[in-house]
Amino acid sequence: MKRIMFSLLFCLFFVHSGFSQPSLSLDPAKSAWFRDARFGIFVHWGLYSMLEGSYNGHTLPDTTLPEGRSWYAEWVQMRLEVPAEEYRALARSFNPTDFDADAWIREVKNAGARYFVITSKHHDGFALWDSDVSDFDVMNTPFKRDILAELVAACKKHGVKYGFYYSHWQDWEHPQGALPYWKPKRPDKDFEKYWREKSLPQVKELLVKFDPDLLWFDTWDEVSHITDERRDELIALVRSVSPKCLINGRISYLNPGENIDFLEMHDNQYPASILSKPWQTPATMVRSWGWHAQDFNWKSIPQMTEYLVSNASKGGNYLLNIGPKPDGNFPVPAIRRLREIGAWLYANGEAVYGTSPVQITPEEGVIFTQKKTDDGARLYITLTAPKESVELPVEYGEVTGCAVLESGRPLEVKKSPGGIRIPLPDALFNDCSLQVICLRMKNTL
């Protein structure tokens, strides 16, 4: 209960006081690509994917087990109580023969995403790359291929930025890594061993071997082991090896400090107001992050597109997750969603990439983004529901033109008491995807 209250308070803090987040000493040029990108793809993949959310007759969520109530299939080891040796033995049959890094990154690219983040090591401690630090890695499986190396090559080939999720705090394989809150807490001096033996050396290894564009660390609203000193030590390590690598706020969720590059929201959390620092929402397509064969809770494409545009309108990014199957394939419903979001962005991406927020609260069913252009500015009005017209507090004399973004169909702009009114044709809402109106203006708002 305490945890829930704490997390509620924290969410309220972030959601309602957008401008009072910790100030970050950012180099705007360094994170400019991240701000402009707006859309990234996340992948959770590892040994847990092989269990598909079930173990020993139990399927997540399972309330008959004390901690079985979550959908998160990447937590299966802890939540469905898989004995450590049995979990470790999964490595002996990890062999995703259909894995094709190029095909994955082509999907990412076609989805219109500009960056790719994969779990290099999740809480289970298993490394998807050839690690010199730990032999609990992909090279000690029948597959014996460095998955990260192949993905990095594909990202470079397709011009997609890439980063790694690295569980720097929880590690259920190392005898001194952090454990879930319901397990006995490790003495801090034991954790220190894990920190020096595995966590820091593997982060360094990832930086040196793969030169990532970002690192995605993971803590949440629990305070243990990740002191400000350890947080700063890890940041210093990243900075000393890579001047370009961005660091997310979940390196220490409750206290990210001054020296991170972007804020990371809680899972599927969407702030209600504009945040002035770069930020992103890690989001699921279903309920689980890792592949869960019984999780059929697929979100709709308009809903996900709305999250993407709505985050952009508040200065943030959308990092949409896929949980690939144990054979190395993306699930079919995920592929369809990626392709349809990609098709939508093909037509409307201008309203998303490189846009900035607008300091006007839109009416219900409307999202604003904007951009400066050589000939003035563009205000993008994304409609999430059918409407007869939209009203805007914009001076009539500021408008230089108006059209539906996808088709170029011109729209009439009328002067109204509050500014302007744009009547909308019925045919605009013949399909269920979000429609975007592009208003050409002399200046940004």
- What is the footprint of ligand GLC within residues 365-384 (CB under 6 A)? none
CA angle 275, 267, 379 (to 5 degrees): 35
Helix (H) or strand (E) holding 231: helix 228-241
| 432/113 Cα distance (integer angstroms) | 22
Give the torsion through C-alpha atoms of 48, 53, 54, 58, to 10 deg.
130
72 makes contact with ligand GLC (CB under 6 A): yes
Cα 341 from chain centre: 15
- Please choose, out of 70-78, 147-155, 325-333, 413-421, the segment that lies near ligand GLC by the rule CB under 6 A: 70-78
CB of 278 to ligand GLC, least distance (A): 17
Amino acid identity for residue 276 in this structure: S
Q: Which residues of 221-257 are buried (b: 16+ CB within 10 A; e: fewer)?
A: ebeebbeeebbeebbebbeeebeebbbbbbbbbbebe
How many residues in total does the chain contain?
Answer: 445
Select the span of 71-79, 107-115, 372-380, 418-426 touching ligand GLC (CB under 6 A).
71-79
Interface of this chain with ligand GLC, residues 35 to 54, rule: CB under 6 A: 44
State the minimum distance, in angstroms, from the CB of residue 315 to ligand GLC: 20
Candidates 191, 289, 344, 368: give the one binding ligand GLC (CB under 6 A).
289
CB of 322 to ligand GLC, least distance (A): 12
Q: In terms of CB distance, is 297 or 430 closer to ligand GLC?
A: 297
Per CB under 6 A, the list member of 6, 33, 220, 298 interacting with ligand GLC is 220
Q: How far, in Å, CA of 16 to CA of 343, rounded?
A: 33
Q: Which of 46, 212, 282, 331 binds ligand GLC (CB under 6 A)?
A: 282
Of 67-75, 156-164, 189-197, 291-299: span binding ligand GLC (CB under 6 A)? 67-75
Strand pairing report for 435-441 and 399-404:
antiparallel
x/- binding map, residues 246-275, to ligand GLC, per CB under 6 A? ---------------------x--------
What is the rounded CA–CA span in Å between residue 241 and residue 410?
52
Please list, in sequence order, all residues whose beta carbon lies within 8 angstroms of the beta carbon of residue 414, skipping any fewer than 6 positions away: 420, 421, 422, 423
**Considering the complex, what minimum distance in angstroms separates the CB of residue 24 from ligand GLC?**
20
Cβ at position 360, least distance to ligand GLC in Å: 31
CB of 268 to ligand GLC, least distance (A): 8
The answer to the question of residue 14 lying near ligand GLC (CB under 6 A) is no
Residue 273 burial (CB < 10 Å; 0-12/13-18/19+)? middle
Closest CB to ligand GLC among 7 and 110?
A: 7
Pick from 24, 45, 74, 226: which binds ligand GLC (CB under 6 A)?
A: 74
Q: Which two tokens stand for residue 318?
A: 């959308």
Q: Say how far apart CA 419 and CA 267 lie, in whole Å.
A: 39
Is residue 218 within the footprint of ligand GLC (CB under 6 A)?
yes
Beta-bridge partners for 282: 319
Strands in 323-375 per DSSP E = 366-373
Least distance between ligand GLC and beta carbon 374 (Å) = 39
Q: Which is nearer to ligand GLC, 68 or 357 (CB)?
A: 68
Q: Shortest gap between Cβ of 52 and ligand GLC (angstroms)?
A: 15
- Residues in contact with ligand GLC by CB under 6 A are 44, 72, 74-75, 218, 220, 267, 282, 289
